[in-house]
Amino acid sequence: MLLLILSTLLSFLSVHTKFITNPLMKWMQSSSKEEISKRNEIKSLQSAQQKLSMVDNFVEYSKIQRKINRITESLKEKELENSNSFYMKIGIPYGLKMIIITLLVILCFYYRSSPLFYLESSINLFPFQYFISFANGKNSVSFHFWVMCCTAFARSIKL
């Protein structure tokens, strides 16, 4: 029973890895406390700058603008460091998919000669019996066939 649940879950996860990778990527790319404080500082400086007249208080206005520009540049550098993580954006989803598929292949080799479950004797699988119960007895469902069916079903579902 555990093998049936595990194989079904791994088959669905091999197709829909986005359920794991999307929250993980959002968590990894979330803003740090330093970035949030810098953004708040920019907002406060911009509000102070809007209160000043550019013509009357040009010196103060330009000082505030230079501070805003300096903070904005440091934020852009941080964002550039985060956006350069191309390997993370590609490596995490495909790496997780490769781990799941490798685990499924290992399980297929380990359980190649043991049936996942048996069907009633009244059910006749005549034309497809060899494919459904590959390397097992009559009226049994093999691990390979179950994984293929679950994967095909998971691909047909648009989540």
Task: Return the minimum-mean-pLDDT range out of 9-23, 68-82, 124-138.
Answer: 124-138
**Which pLDDT band holds residue 50 (cuts at 50, 70, 90)?**
confident
pLDDT at 84: 60
**Which pLDDT band holds residue 101 (cuts at 50, 70, 90)?**
very high
Q: Taking 90 as the threshold, does the pLDDT of residue 115 lie above it? A: no
Q: Taking 70 as the threshold, does the pLDDT of residue 83 lie above it? A: no
DSSP assignment of the chain: -HHHHHHHHHHHHHH-THHHHHHHHHHHTSPPHHHHHHHHHHHHHHHHHHHS-TTTTHHHHHHHHHHHHHHHHHHHHHHHHHHT-HHHHHHHHHHHHHHHHHHHHHHHHHTTTSEEEE--TT---GGGHHHHTTTS-TTEEEHHHHHHHHHHHHHHS--
Task: Return the minimum-mean-pLDDT range out of 45-49, 63-67, 97-101, 116-120.
Answer: 116-120
Q: How far is CA 25 from CA 37, 51, 91, in A?
A: 22, 39, 11
For the ranges 95-104, 123-132, 142-151, the one whose mean pLDDT is highest: 95-104
Residue 77: alpha-carbon gap to chain centroid: 26
Domain chopping of the chain, boundaries: 1-29+86-159, 31-84
**Which pLDDT band holds residue 98 (cuts at 50, 70, 90)?**
very high
pLDDT average, residue stretch 75-99: 80
